[in-house]
Structure 1
Amino acid sequence: MNTLSSKPWILGLTGGIGSGKSAAAEHFASLGVHVVDADHAARWVVEPGRPALIEIAEHFGDAVLMADGQLNRSALRNIIFSDPQQRQWLEALLHPLVREEIAQNLAQAQSPYAILVSPLLIESGQYTTTQRVLVIDAPQTLQIQRTLLRDKTSEEQVQAILNAQASREERLRHADDVLVNDTDLKVLKTEVERLHHFYLTLRGGQP
């Protein structure tokens, strides 16, 4: 069992859509840091065979399932976006399960610090479970440009996602560290390495 002193501290990593947080997280992982993705945890708890998916199907009916038994996310999204009460029911079911999944994954970390990557780190309150927050930041025009290239989506859709995520000011207000990703991947990786060496000097996430 880890003693408290050797237990990895947790870095929360976030950033708006198209900021480069996934690329940053991948590079931290390549440096040997244990990385847990909140989105992956959220998907995993509703996999076929998991209790949450059975409850969701019982509550909403088979219309939210696809032929192969997977969750039909777009059907479920349509229901919860038009009915706040149903959204609250779903969140009450899933949030504790996702929290538990994240905690179990983070507990397996062997690296000096571990990273929780979450696009909604601030909005969901997940940042309260971390000792330090790193925000990957990029000018909004660049975020839109990158997302359009990556997702082949419309500018309106990207703008809607940007509007739904925490405002840039709000994210930066919670940040202990900010990595401005406004050039290329090479510069991003160099900055990640610089932060990594700094983080290795910290105890409990603090200098």
Structure 2
Amino acid sequence: MSGYVVGLTGGIGSGKSLVADLFVAQGAALVDTDAIAHELTGPGGAAMPALAEAFGAGVLRPDGALDRAAMRRLVFADASAKACLEAILHPLIRQLSSERCQTSTAPYVILAVPLLVESGTYRERCDRIVVVDCPEDLQIARVMARNGLPRDEVLAIMAAQASRAERLAVADDVVVNDGERAKVHDQVAALHRKYLVLSAEKVKASC
């Protein structure tokens, strides 16, 4: 992977998309693995033939895309289904994200990976890892309001992810998102300046 790659992660409802957008506004490129997953599982997506064969018509929408709600219920109920889903999607996501990082001409790339800690492989593909952090009660409230999910379902999603402490343990940098957008912007601007310097140092060292 060429260039300088910053892995961006955080729990559901932490504000990863806001932080990613702020980095892009500063001049970074964004490679979003969740967006890639949506591409792969949309109508005509590259992963859909394998998913349809593995899970059957019950996880398909009428337009041929993945029914994400049905798939989510299935993987929560069956660990083997989760493993099968990941075995199909993860190699394709890794391939596409690597290609897009390599072809970027920006000073550095933000590689947004919601399950970065859980994957266990992205550390070796990132020069640095930034974690978006917020209090868990705020996470829960945001997801309930945004997705219309009941509290117990939000808690189940959070329980399936790395804990707040596990994410912070792998962080090189942390952006605290406690609801004050101006504070988030200032933190991102400071990190942007830092990453420009680190990127330039990496380029110089490779020459």
TM-score of the aligned structures, taking structure 1 as reference length: 0.87
Aligned residues: 200
Quote the RMSD (CA, aligned, Å). Answer: 2.0
1:108 corresponds to 2:103: yes
Q: 1:195 corresponds to which letter in structure 2?
A: L
Q: CA deviation at 1:183?
A: 4.3
Match of residue 41, structure 1, among 36, 39, 42: 36
Q: CA deviation at 1:147?
A: 2.6
1:133 corresponds to 2:129: yes
Match of residue 97, structure 1, among 86, 92, 100: 92
Counterparts of 1:31-70 in structure 2 under 5 Å? 31-70=26-65
Please give the secondary structure, in 1, of the residue aligned with 2:8.
Answer: strand
Partner in structure 2 of residue 10 of structure 1: 5
Q: 1:200 corresponds to which letter in structure 2?
A: L
8 A contact 2:44–2:65 mirrored in 1? no
| Whole-angstrom distance in 1 between the partners of 2:13 and 2:87 | 29
Q: CA deviation at 1:63?
A: 2.5
Partner in structure 1 of residue 156 of structure 2: 160
Higher helix share: 2
1:151 corresponds to 2:147: yes
Unaligned runs of 5+ in 1: none
Compared with structure 1, are the counterparts of its residues 142 and 71 closer, same or farther at alpha carbon in structure 2 (3 Å cutoff)? Answer: closer
Compared with structure 1, are the counterparts of its residues 149 and 67 closer, same or farther at alpha carbon in structure 2 (3 Å cutoff)? Answer: closer
Compared with structure 1, are the counterparts of its residues 60 and 159 closer, same or farther at alpha carbon in structure 2 (3 Å cutoff)? Answer: closer
Match of residue 118, structure 2, among 115, 120, 123: 123
Please give the secondary structure, in 1, of the residue aligned with 2:36.
Answer: helix
8 A contact 1:13–1:136 mirrored in 2? yes
